[in-house]
Amino acid sequence: MTAVLIRGGAPYGEAPLDLLLDGGVIVATGGEATADERSVDAEIVDATGLVVLPGLVDLHTHLREPGREDAETVETGSAAAALGGYTAVFAMPNTDPTADTAGVVEQVYRLGRDVGLVDVFPIGAVTVGRKGERLAELAAMANSAARVRVFSDDGDCVSDALLMRRALEYVKAFGGVIAQHAQEPRLTQGAQMHEGEVSARLGLTGWPAVAEEAIIARDCLLTDHVGSRLHVCHLSTAGSVDVLAAAKVRGTAVTAEVTPHHLLLTDERAVGYDPVFKVNPPLRTAADVTALRQALADGVIDIVATDHAPHASQDKETEWDNASPGMLGLQTALSVVIETMLLPGLLDWRGVARVMSEAPARIGGLVEHGRPVAAGEPANLVLIDPTARWTVSGASLASLSANTPFEGMELPGRVVATYLRGRRTVSAGALAGV
Ligand SMILES: [Zn+2]
């Protein structure tokens, strides 16, 4: 592999700085990059006007393989991720079979390696079959080739308090974290959308905010009691922000994510009963959206995670009540964060790097991702055209499924190139031939 000299790009949107990549590493920057003898034969990439960030890291992706290869595969999901500027994704275990053994997580890990577009890190199920009855083989998954550090029954809540306590105790031994899908099941039986004025108007069964907030409060207390580490998936309400903020003040070892769709869309989208807007947890109110944006800006919410959830058309394009909840996210996440956080001045580019790369890598225990754009660091990078605008079309996304809630919307910012360990996975906004 020849060296690559990226010229004129602006790390974190700050002063332009040339970057010389070789052997998977940023070997030199600035004047030292152009003076380095390895730059003589290097491939030159003109990055004038582009922002350079560390490759993005998604802590919450559904790749659907094994079991639902009609909706997504590791290959198509990896392509969507690379095109979205990601160099690493964490794959949720709600596959068929469930990723609850060393064998299945190793299978997903190896599929990711074989595709080679992003690093795929499997998340292990907390309970066998995600049934919430008994703990899965957490240590076996942690000790497997996939070295699992994040465990979740996502899609379902670990609602049994004793099981949750045991899981938190168990992962302490190897520095793991439990990622909780916070949804009190009895309070959300048959729920179809956010419980509020719109659900009353539409006559759809409501999913009350308190069903999320109560679980987060309980789990923060359990985490304190056990002395373990908790991560809250797709936090969606203003009340959850309050619970989280209080726990952090107290010193609870808790982190939390928000999805791009919860930063932009509200429950008003359900008017019209288009199931593309059905998601779990549901889209909330405008006041919730405002609180989530502010919490992400303040650092109360740590990261943006996509909850990329591809669904085959027969599961999604049906009447609202029967449609599967979930939305695509990998190729639109960065643009939605630019729209909702960067352009309004809530985050600068360093902040975007923090919430979409550095902090998710840290929570997931990765040491080669989410690193600074600096000499000696791994060459996992994304080059972004901050002035470009594009119109979202589900049919033209790399995902096997097309269920984007942003269909037809014009969004800012475009991924021009992505580098994984110095190798280009995306070039000129398209998959590089790798
Ligand atoms: Zn979930």
The residue ranges of every structural domain in the chain are 4-51+376-431, 55-364
Q: Where residue 16 falls among pLDDT bands split at 50, 70, 90? A: very high
Q: What pLDDT was estimated at residue 228? A: 98
Residue 1 has pLDDT above 90, yes or no: no
Structurally, at CATH architecture level, domain 55-364 sits in Alpha-Beta Barrel (3.20)
pLDDT of residue 360: 98
Q: Residue 309 C-alpha to ligand 1 middle, in angstroms?
A: 10
**Quick one: tokens of 38?**
């390895």
**Architecture field, domain 4-51+376-431:** Roll (2.30)
User: What pairs with residue 276 in β-bridges?
Assistant: none
**pLDDT exceeds 60 at position 200:** yes
Mean pLDDT score, 333-350: 98
C-alpha span between 180 and 221 (Å, rounded)? 14
- Are residues 299 and 345 in contact, defined by beta-carbon separation less than 8 angstroms? no
- pLDDT value at position 229? 98
pLDDT digit string, tens, across residues 102-155: 999 999 999 999 999 999 999 999 999 999 999 999 999 999 999 999 999 999
Ligand 1 center–CA 44 separation, angstroms: 42
For ligand 1, the distance from its centroid to the CA atom of residue 233, given in whole angstroms, is 6
For residue 375, pLDDT beyond 60 = yes
Q: Among 185, 195, 183, 286, which Cα is nearest to 238's?
A: 286
Shared fold status for 4-51+376-431 and 55-364: no
pLDDT in tens, 310-328: 999 999 999 999 999 999 9
Beta strands 25-29 and 19-22, pairing class: antiparallel
Write down the pTM of the prediction.
Answer: 0.98
CA of 154 from ligand 1 middle (Å) equals 4
User: What's residue 434's pLDDT?
Assistant: 54
Report, as an integer, the average pLDDT of 60-85: 98
Contact call for residues 212 and 235 (beta carbons, < 8 A)? yes
Q: Would you state the pLDDT for residue 433?
A: 75
Q: pLDDT at residue 191 above 70?
A: yes
Active-site annotation, residues: 307
From ligand 1's centre to the CA of 226, what distance in Å?
24
Residues making up the chain, counted from first to last? 434
- The CA–CA distances, whole Å, from 197 to 202, 206, 271 equal 9, 10, 12
Give the integer Cα–Cα distance in Å for 273 and 407: 15
391-408 pLDDT, tens digit each: 999 999 999 999 999 999
